[in-house]
Structure 1
Amino acid sequence: MTIYLDNSATTFPKPESVYRAVDHAFRTYGANPGRGGHRMSLESARMIFDARETAADFIDTDDASRIVFTSGATEAINLALFGLLSPGDRVVTTSMEHNAVIRPLHALQKRGVEVVTVEAEADGRVPVDRIEAACTV
């Protein structure tokens, strides 16, 4: 039996259903969904559309067109932060944030976004009152 304890980079082992779905996708959806009107391209586009609909249902939103797929969390974080924050905006973060959050916030700070960092306790906890105080302008 394999015991795997490093799930921060990926999830392993995956459920059998994931392996089957990926195998099916590799064998079925062999075309770029946005580059043609042929059957394989349309099937790929339909699969992505269905995945968007499923995700929208899961998070209880009516607008599946607002669901965006990214290559991973770092890209998603960058898309959200750079897409939402503008010069003059204020964002509150903590000293415990991952580098994938801190680096884009640092870049945005150079562009005029105010970044307020709430320090964590020695044990890693961030007291709610500190966050509330940082959110008060």
Structure 2
Amino acid sequence: PTPTGVQIHPNFNNRKCMDVAGNRRRNGTPVQIFDCNGSSAQRWNIFRGTTRVQLTGTNFCLDAGLPSQFHNGERLKIWHCIDSIPAQIWDFTNQNQIRLKATESRRHPQCVDLPDGQTFNGNQLQIFRCFNGNPNQIWTTTP
């Protein structure tokens, strides 16, 4: 694993990146789509299988909120990484979905989702019911 992290892209679109809004490193900062610009706001540590999605070189993790909020449309943010809280444990599948691990046993697991597939700068990511092959839920990485 490289300490420099990776960029995370929506559906193989290497011009767009998962991004921490304004590179503001504080609890509750939105995680959005933005033009890839090489900044540290777009470098993540993520691994196949069970993983945290951690902003490289920081103690901030992709966070889905309280378990009562694990439903369609809950917007994603960063929060201080806390060991073993369900909001920060993901499953990066071989189908390139990033599933919220706590919901995988449900009939309808939740996935990191690009709202309406829109790649405009500032579109805040959400969780949404996983659908295999849904392009809004495909996430790819580059070094």
Q: Kindly indicate which of the two structures has a greater share of residues assigned to helix.
A: 1
Q: Kindly indicate which of the two structures has a greater share of residues assigned to strand.
A: 2
Give the TM-score range, shorter chain. Answer: under 0.3
The answer to which structure, 1 or 2, has the higher relative contact order (CA under 8 A, 6+ apart) is 2
Question: Normalising by structure 2, what TM-score?
Answer: 0.23
